[in-house]
């Protein structure tokens, strides 16, 4: 059996006085895993817990064999939030150079990351003057610095045109082929088909875990969107 890159056990997170994650457990292996669920179901909260940025009430989160948030994971995890986390008044190359120094990775890694996200022609442009899609790719390039073993991407394709979305998914697969684990959240169900494995989430719980084929077959649905609806109705009946 493939070893889990992420191991979550009985994780409970309370936000705003409400249990957003109610003692959930899950494992993530190498490959491209999609974390799918409606807006507000707790995807970002779970991802924050994985990178050690979320206060947790109880339970444990282990990433690459270390407790989430430990210093040893700093260069081994790349994390991209929904808000671009780069400096608007620096150029693409300056941003990457800065973060490479902060992380203590080689300058050549910065050039490589710019190349990989397709921003070589924009490298001398100030980030504040780039398009939304280009800016989010600068954040992605920062996350790729140091060739992380795990990439955690919170809705990375929101607001991107279909060509860019396709290119990014190809990139995620190339990274996974190179041995990395890529965990991508999305509320767009049509992106599900591009994942090796899916975790379907609803109201803080994982309601299905399997390949797109397995999830479709188990529900008899034609696509993941319908499989999800089928499961939601099923869980309501079971409750």
Ligand X SMILES: Nc1ncnc2c1ncn2[C@@H]1O[C@H](COP(=O)(O)OP(=O)(O)OP(=O)(O)O)[C@@H](O)[C@H]1O
- Cβ 127 to ligand X shortest distance, Å: 23
**Shortest distance in whole angstroms from residue 23 CB to ligand X:** 15
Pick the closest to residue 46 from 24, 71, 76 (CA basis).
24
For 226, the token pair is 């319908």
The answer to whether 191 and 169 are in contact (CB under 8 A) is yes
Q: How many residues bind ligand X (CB under 6 A)?
A: 12
Only one of the segments 12-20, 56-64, 98-106, 219-227 lies at the binding site for ligand X (rule: CB under 6 A); that segment is 12-20
- Residue placing its CB nearer to ligand X in the complex, 72 or 188: 188
Closer to ligand X by Cβ: residue 16 or 162: 16
We find the least distance from the C-beta atom of residue 11 to ligand X, in angstroms, to be 13
The nearest distance, CB 157 to ligand X, in angstroms, is: 12
Candidate list 5, 6, 8, 20; residue touching ligand X; CB under 6 A? 20
- C-alpha dist (Å) from residue 198 to 69, 180, 193, 211: 24, 16, 9, 6
Rounded Cα distance, 53 and 47, in Å: 9
Residue 171, Ramachandran bin (φ over 0: left; ψ between -120 and 50: alpha; else beta): alpha
Instruction: Give the residue nearest to ligand X (CB).
Output: 16
Q: In angstroms, rounded to a whole number, what is the distance separating the alpha carbons of residues 58 and 223?
A: 35
Q: Does 215 bind ligand X (CB under 6 A)?
A: no
Map the footprint of ligand X across residues 32-51, applying CB under 6 A: 37, 39-45
Q: Report in angstroms how near the CB of residue 191 gets to ligand X at its nearest.
A: 13
Q: Angle CA(168)–CA(170)–CA(171) in degrees, nearest 5?
A: 60
Where on the chain is the footprint of ligand X (CB under 6 A)? 15-16, 20, 37, 39-45, 187
């Amino acid at each position: 059996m493939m070893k889990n890159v992420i191991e979550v056990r009985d994780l409970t997170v309370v936000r705003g006085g409400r249990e957003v994650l109610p003692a959930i457990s899950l494992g993530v292996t190498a490959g491209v895993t999609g974390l799918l669920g409606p807006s507000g179901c707790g995807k970002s909260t779970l991802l924050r817990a994985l990178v050690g940025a979320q206060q947790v009430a109880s339970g444990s989160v282990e990433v690459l064999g270390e407790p989430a948030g430990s210093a040893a994971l700093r260069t081994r995890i790349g994390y991209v939030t929904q808000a671009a986390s780069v400096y608007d008044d620096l150029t693409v190359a300056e941003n990457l150079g800065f973060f490479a120094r902060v992380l203590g990775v080689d300058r050549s890694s910065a050039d490589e990351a710019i190349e990989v996200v397709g921003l070589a022609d924009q490298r001398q442009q100030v980030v504040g003057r780039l398009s939304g899609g280009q800016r989010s790719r600068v954040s992605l390039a920062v996350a790729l610095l140091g060739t992380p073993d795990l990439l955690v991407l919170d809705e990375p394709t929101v607001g991107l045109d279909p060509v860019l979305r396709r290119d990014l998914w190809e990139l995620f697969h190339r990274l996974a082929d190179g041995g990395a684990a890529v965990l991508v959240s999305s509320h767009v169900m049509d992106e599900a088909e591009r994942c090796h494995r899916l975790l379907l989430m609803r109201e803080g719980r994982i309601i299905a875990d399997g390949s797109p084929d397995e999830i479709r077959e188990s529900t008899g649905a034609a696509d993941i969107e319908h499989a999800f609806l089928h499961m939601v109705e099923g869980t309501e009946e079971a409750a």
